[in-house]
A and B are shown apart, each in its own frame.
Chain A
Amino acid sequence: MTEVVATIAFWVFAITAVVGALGVVWAKRVFHSAMFLTVALGSTAAIYVLLSADFLAAVQILVYTGAVVILVLFAIMLTPQSVELPTFAPGGQQLGGVIVALALLALMIAAITNQPWPLAAQPLDQPTSFGLGQGLLTTYLFPFELASLVLLVAMIGAILLARED
């Protein structure tokens, strides 16, 4: 029964993620792009739940839809543009973009399907919070401290850049 539910859930959320992503790229108004981005990021969180990454799914919602999307919305509000301006690149560049994206997709799908992945005997399906916490404070302590430094620098930089003077 869980197999059936998992497969249905995967297809539902994969389709909403792709629809959301396409909406970000194709929406005429920037606000709608931000709404589609929320849909895409929320569907990604659901995919993480399917992959048993419970902590990561909660963090994805907390950070991406709870902070980054609101940041994007603030930026949209603070940079109003008249709606008549062209939002898409000229036709030639768009065609080039489509070709590049499709070529890259074909290359990646070919690489994925032809690669003999070293699959584990049992997929890793255990609660992750404890393991992640332990790893962050023992094996990955240095990247953890560096990431906090990166966030500090980003905070100070963003405040300085966006100031009125």
Chain B
Amino acid sequence: MPGLNQFLILGAIIFCIGIYGALSRRNVVVLLMALELMLNGVNITLVAFNRFLTPPAGVSSSPFAGQMFALFVIAVAAAEAALGLAIVIAVYRVRHTVQVDQIDALRG
């Protein structure tokens, strides 16, 4: 069973691929997909921490704090993807394009 480092490096690789994707693609939908990848990389890191590290001390925390954090990240990521894609659709209706470099100036 691979140790903590392997899982953390996997999370880091997926996160960096997400950053590369966000920087190098013109399509806004692909940008949002790269954003989802980044959030997934972070989630892998959180869940790996939850499994391998000593649980946080204190009254107001549970041994599943890492997974709880990851659960909230999933919920917020879904909400943000929905809103982002709604904005993309609204912009497409006006500008008829989803290329980032063509939506970068206000009209006029």
Give A residues with C-beta under 8 Å from B: 2-3, 6-7, 10, 14, 17-18, 21-22, 24-25, 30, 33-34, 37, 40-41, 44, 47-48, 50-53, 55-56, 59-60, 63-64, 67-68, 71-72, 74-76, 78-79, 81, 85-89, 93-94, 96-98, 100-102, 104-105, 108-109, 112-113, 117-120, 123-125, 128, 131-132, 134-136, 139-140, 143, 147, 150-151, 153-155, 157-159, 161-162
Contact A117 B7 (CB under 8 A): no
What residues on B are CB-neighbors of A117 within 8 Å?
4, 52-53
Closest to A150 in B: B79
Mask of B51-73 contacts with A, CB within 8 angstroms, 1/0 = 11111000011111101101110
Contact B71 A59 (CB under 8 A): yes
Contact A89 B25 (CB under 8 A): yes
Contact A113 B26 (CB under 8 A): no
State the majority secondary structure of interface residues on B.
helix
25 residue pairs A–B, Cβ–Cβ below 8 Å: A6-B1, A21-B13, A25-B24, A50-B1, A53-B67, A53-B70, A56-B47, A56-B67, A72-B33, A75-B85, A76-B29, A79-B29, A81-B99, A88-B26, A89-B101, A96-B23, A100-B20, A101-B20, A105-B13, A109-B9, A112-B8, A136-B68, A139-B60, A140-B62, A162-B89
Contact A37 B33 (CB under 8 A): yes
What residues on A are CB-neighbors of B26 within 8 Å?
85-89
A120 to B54, CA, bound (A): 4
What residues on B are CB-neighbors of A119 within 8 Å?
4, 52-54
The residue from B1, B5, B21, B83 contacting A24, defined by CB atoms under 8 A apart: B21
The residue from A2, A109, A147 contacting B12, defined by CB atoms under 8 A apart: A109
Contact B71 A154 (CB under 8 A): no
Mask of B25-58 contacts with A, CB within 8 angstroms, 1/0 = 1110110111011001001100110111111000
What residues on B are CB-neighbors of A7 within 8 Å?
1-2
Contact A71 B81 (CB under 8 A): yes
Knowing A78-B92, A151-B79, say if A48 contacts B33 (CB, 8 Å): no
Contact B53 A154 (CB under 8 A): no
The residue from B25, B65, B77 contacting A68, defined by CB atoms under 8 A apart: B77
